[in-house]
Amino acid sequence: STQSIIKYSLVLLIFGLLLPFIDIGLVVGADNFNPSMYPFLEAAPILTHHNILYIPGLPLFLLKGTPSNLFLLIGLSLLIIAIFYYYSDVLHKNNKLFGILNIYGKHSITIFFVQFLFIFILYQKLTLILFFPFIILFIAILGALLFLWQKNGKSILSLDWIMDKIGGKTKD
């Protein structure tokens, strides 16, 4: 039920926020930052491209790859899913926001594969300051194209349509 999902997400959020007290400390600083504990920093080339590996005083649950960050992100994700599920399926509130999210949900596998067509633009070419406006613009343009595709083209030849066609769920 929605209440149990919210309970589990809150438990994971609290666990993610309290885990740094058990781990190496509450904040990241020069005295407790050990790069060998975080091998993911060398795995992502964009992280080694910048000279700063960490921000001094950054709460540990915001440092990607730590267990507390993992629990925090899982808890936040579950909480967001539970809230949207509650409003859309339990209360049956369908406004423009839920319509837009419904389009992204219907075409999620298509979005996943389309992003690989544009990965050459996103991969190590943009600075962090330019990345956020660009990704927001990319998501908005992709959403508009998916909306037009669904409205005018009835989503024909999308990966979701192909899978439904193979499974025998569409009549087109």
Domain range list for the chain: 1-93, 94-172
Please indicate, yes or no, whether the overall pTM of this predicted structure exceeds 0.85: no
**The pLDDT value given to residue 44:** 55
pLDDT at 14 > cutoff 70: yes
Distances (CA, A) of 40 to 63, 107, 146, 156, 159: 11, 30, 34, 40, 32
Query: Can you tell me the mean pLDDT for 43-55?
Result: 56
Strand partners, 27: 59
**The pLDDT value given to residue 87:** 81
Split at pLDDT 50, 70, 90, the class of 57 is low
pLDDT at 30 > cutoff 80: no
* C-alpha to C-alpha distance for 13 and 119, rounded to whole angstroms: 32
Query: Can you tell me the mean pLDDT for 151-168?
Result: 77
pLDDT at 28 > cutoff 80: no
Q: How many CB atoms lie within 10 A of CB 57?
A: 9
Split at pLDDT 50, 70, 90, the class of 90 is confident
